[in-house]
Structure 1
Amino acid sequence: MKPTTGKPSTPPEQWWKTSIIDVQPGEIGIRGYPIETLIGNLSYAQMVWLMLRGEVPSKPLATLLEAALVAAVDHGPQAPSIAIARMSMTCGVDINNAMASAINVLGDVHGGAGQQCMDLFRSVLECASAEQCGVAHASDIVVGDHQRNVSKMIPGYGHRFHPVDPRATRLLALVEQARCEGLLTGQYLAAARAIEATLARRANKAIPINIDGATAVIYSELGFSATLGRGLFILSRSVGILAHAYEQSQAQERIKGPMPPSVPYTYTGPARRNVPSSTVRYENDQY
């Protein structure tokens, strides 16, 4: 007989616990709100906030969240996640497989800059508090530490394609407007601007904030954690992934690789060679 520990077993109904949803026959409650009272009354951005934070946000704050979600939906088929979605569809998989393949590459390198930037903003503010200095000096400390110990590149700044990211310009204008209206503290916006100034001084040229940095400002100002910041980016970019995957499925093309056949890859291995005679297996003087 198996010995008992004396501890009571977990009741089956207690195995999974959630404060998000309660589903009973004929009833669905989201954070305590009957679903039928939310349908038609909440925007999608408000629903996202409710699911993640537990409360319904005001319309102005939901509008700012929605702006960030809209801004990051797509950046063209040259983006790895979008390209993967399109290539997947040409392999004959279903759209959910294509979307999953694309989302799975949104990690630290492609898709993680927003989360990293949110962490950087928080480090600047914590440094300013600990050192009892302004965000400008704290930014210099944090950026210097990052460039020495992590990477010369600062997440959320600069862009390989856009000299000035038009998405970031618009988003930060909305943040500034919300700050002037007293909806936000503006502390993360100040940290973002301080880092931008620090980078310009260190590089002796402008390195403007990009879409990742701008959405990081918004998500931070709205009180989302850095982890949720990455999740919100993935939620936003999933719209672009879906659109590209579906468009590609309508083209009826098969097995398209990353480059057209006219653009060959580069082989870097050994030149053509023979198998060493000492390794060849002979049977009855034949191969």
Structure 2
Amino acid sequence: MTTSDDEAAQWWATSITRIAPGEIDHRGVPVEELIGRTGFVEMIWFMVVGGTPTPSQTRLLEAALVAATDHGPQAPSIAIARMTVTCGVGLNGAVASGVNALGDVHGGAGEQCVVMLDDAIARVADGESWDDAAVAIVDEHRRRSAYVPGFGHRFHPRDPRRDPLLGLVSEAVASGDVPGRHLEAALAFERALDRPGRRPVPMNIDGATAVIYGELGLPAPLARGLFLLSRSVGILAHAWEERQSGVRNKGPLPRTVLPAYRPGPEAG
């Protein structure tokens, strides 16, 4: 191999996949040894994290992925995918359009919550109590924004996904499969947000899955990446359903409803 050939080969050097004529290896394992033997959730872990997850890790990751799959057309990412597919765009474009709507506000709270939980864990390691750490962090967030990532929901008084997810984490803590520090931190945040005279602000799906991703030892950015992977399933399902409706150029409002006109500043 010449120097220029070697430089080209190193340009996208990767430890994830090796290909050669008639050969595909993922992390050193021939693909034919994975097909039919490895579940999709295990494959996600294998490809993204590396190694084989334990049964408990697989169960927790699968639960988080299932829970975040969809929240209906009220979610902007779903509505955008449904509108896009009625414009004659293929499923790939519709799914991409929906995924591209997932940003810091819609889709990013899980990552932000993991960072917040990690902050609380670090403060407790330095000698603070869980409750003192949680109150201090909540106050810091409230000075910047009315929202604390991972807590409260614009639609659900209590997110129906919270309890089953935290129940699975509690079981994993009791069996010694995960440490439980992220769960402790999240519960402390709920207590900090449940103050006299105020409406309680329980954990939402972002907070509950942040607990799982934190307990699994995954870096905060992967909480967002895995949420995108999960929500892509719901986006695909809705785009496919809308495509079969035969409706063309479906906008965000029925045709009989026109947006209100709001006069702007007079020109010039």
TM-score by length of 1: 0.88
Answering whether residue 132 of structure 2 is matched by residue 137 of structure 1, we say yes
Letter in structure 2 aligned against 1:142: I
Distance in 2 (CA, whole Å) between partners of 1:255 and 1:15 is 43
DSSP 3-state at the match of 1:18: coil
Name stretches of at least 5 consecutive residues in structure 1 with no aligned partner.
1-7, 277-287
Distance in 2 (CA, whole Å) between partners of 1:182 and 1:155 is 28
Distance in 1 (CA, whole Å) between partners of 2:196 and 2:32 is 55
Answering whether residue 199 of structure 2 is matched by residue 199 of structure 1, we say no
Deviations 1:83-128 (A, max 9, x none): 0000001111111110111111100011111111111101111122
Q: Which residue of 2 aligns with 1:280?
A: none
Q: How does 1:31-50 map to 2 (within 5 A)?
A: 31-50=27-46
Distance in 2 (CA, whole Å) between partners of 1:12 and 1:206 is 57
Specify whether residues 202 and 97 from structure 1 end up closer, same or farther in structure 2 by C-alpha distance, changes over 3 A only.
farther
Letter in structure 2 aligned against 1:89: V
Q: How does 1:194-233 map to 2 (within 5 A)?
A: 194-201=188-195, 204-233=198-227
Distance in 2 (CA, whole Å) between partners of 1:243 and 1:145 is 39
Q: Is the 8 A contact 1:172 1:214 kept in 2?
A: yes
Q: C-alpha displacement at 1:138, in angstroms?
A: 0.8
Q: Which residue of 1 aligns with 2:242?
A: 248
Name stretches of at least 5 consecutive residues in structure 2 with no aligned partner.
none
Q: C-alpha displacement at 1:142, in angstroms?
A: 1.2
Q: Which residue of 1 aligns with 2:142?
A: 147
Answering whether residue 175 of structure 2 is matched by residue 186 of structure 1, we say no
Question: Which stretch shows the higher mean deviation, 76-85 or 193-202?
Answer: 193-202
DSSP 3-state at the match of 1:29: strand
Q: Is the 8 A contact 1:167 1:210 kept in 2?
A: yes
Identity %: 51
Distance in 2 (CA, whole Å) between partners of 1:168 and 1:40 is 32
Specify whether residues 202 and 25 from structure 1 end up closer, same or farther in structure 2 by C-alpha distance, changes over 3 A only.
farther
Point out 4+ residue stretches in structure 1 off by more than 6 angstroms. Answer: none
Larger Rg computed on CA atoms: 1
Distance in 2 (CA, whole Å) between partners of 1:203 and 1:41 is 54
Distance in 1 (CA, whole Å) between partners of 2:16 and 2:192 is 42
Distance in 2 (CA, whole Å) between partners of 1:238 and 1:222 is 22
Q: Is the 8 A contact 1:117 1:212 kept in 2?
A: yes
Distance in 1 (CA, whole Å) between partners of 2:132 and 2:142 is 16
Q: 1:174 aligns with which of 161, 165, 168?
A: 168
Letter in structure 2 aligned against 1:256: K
Specify whether residues 171 and 12 from structure 1 end up closer, same or farther in structure 2 by C-alpha distance, changes over 3 A only.
same
Number of matched pairs: 265
Q: C-alpha displacement at 1:264, in angstroms?
A: 1.9
Distance in 1 (CA, whole Å) between partners of 2:56 and 2:37 is 15
Q: Which residue of 1 aligns with 2:26?
A: 30
DSSP 3-state at the match of 1:23: strand
Letter in structure 2 aligned against 1:115: E
Q: Is the 8 A contact 1:114 1:229 kept in 2?
A: yes
Q: Is the 8 A contact 1:89 1:95 kept in 2?
A: yes
Q: Which residue of 2 aligns with 1:117?
A: 113
